[in-house]
Chains A and B, each alone.
Chain A
Amino acid sequence: MTDVSLNEGLPNEAGFGDYVALLKPRVMSLVVFTALVGLLVAPMPVHPFIGFVSILCIAVGAGASGALNMWWDADIDAVMRRTAKRPIPAGKVQPEEALGLGVALSGFSVVLLWLATNWFAAALLAFTIFFYAVVYSMWLKRSTPQNIVIGGAAGAFPPMIGWAVATGGVSLESVLMFAVIFMWTPPHFWALALFMKSDYDDAGVPMLTVTHGRKATRAYILAYTVLLVPVAVGLAFTSVGGSIYGSVAVAANLWFLRGAVAIWRRDEVAAESDSYAVEKSVFKFSLLYLFVHFGALLIEAALRLGGAS
């Protein structure tokens, strides 16, 4: 190797931060929060250090699937303005490096979670990575406008994995926590799709707003919100719920449902006249919606712990 080859492509050389960016750190924060809640509300206590390592493994596993997604989607990322600056389309990281990092971190996180906790939690993490990288990224994303619905399952698994870390299995509580995120994803994402001018179409990714139209998207938002309500409120009647969670869930779901009905009743002319004010407010509230539900579960767990000691 000569100095010439070392100096090639200097302006685009990847720093450590570019490799971290491959792991989609912003997505990771939601994964960490929901997985932590799943772990803490479970009936079995977990040693703090093992809990820390478990959450780290889940976060790294999620990051690994993000790197695999960036490797696979490098061609469409380059076309879209929002993603054109990602490390691979920007020319800082080679696609093969992202693939290598994704595969290595997937293996590392799954095996370490197995050694630290149990095989079931590790298998669930492996399935989540497979689901996001293969089922969502490689298969559904470019083939169906329902991509976001089924792909949303990948983002819904973390609280189930957290629960499995503590209990070694699955139960009604963890399935309902999964269902809350699963049902929440479509209205959350489609509310954003209504007011964000996206270039998904140029990239050949079918979006509901384009394939079925905006009117149908509004109806879908309402339909999924109606399905979400019983799941979110139902969690109040399980062992992880309680009066605080129940009150928060009823209030938040009424508010969210009201917003979904308002979106459904509007047409494009009305939406454009106020610059999508309703759609924007529902999207903002959807972020708070998930946070208050899992936050309330955490408060219930803390109260149970306080009452028991």
Chain B
Amino acid sequence: MSFEKVEHELHHRRSGRNIGVLVALIGMVGIVFGLTVVKVLQLGDAAKFEKFDHVARPQILPETEQ
């Protein structure tokens, strides 16, 4: 059984449309990523954000004297 890539005329015909969709999807990922970075940076103190990690993170708690 072979898995040779079959080139169909359809691949060429629809390449413009497929590339357009690819660019739109990459753009969307970029926008969501960029928005996430900006929103997190706007929080100010990142440690506050880390506390909502739902996991105990003793290292980010303020040190207390024993």
Contacts and interface: CB of A to CB of B under 8 A. Distances in A.
Interface of A: 6, 10, 13-17, 19-20, 47, 49-50, 53, 56, 112, 115-116
A6 B10 contact: yes
A14 B17 contact: yes
Interface of B: 10, 13, 16-17, 19-21, 31, 34-35, 38, 42
B33 to A, nearest CB: 11
Given A49-B34, A49-B35, A53-B35, A16 B17 contact: yes
Nearest to B36: A115
Contacts of A20: 20
Contacts, number: 29
Q: Which secondary structure dominates chain A's binding surface?
A: helix
Given A15-B16, A47-B42, A116 B35 contact: yes
Contact of A16 (B13, B21, B31, B38): B21
Contacts of A10: 13
A116 B20 CA distance: 24
B38 A50 contact: yes
For B16, B19, B38, B42, the residue with the greatest tally of chain A CB atoms inside 10 Å of its CB is B38
Contacts of B21: 16
B36 to A, nearest CB: 10
A47 B31 contact: no
Nearest to A56: B31
A301 to B, nearest CB: 22
Nearest to B31: A53
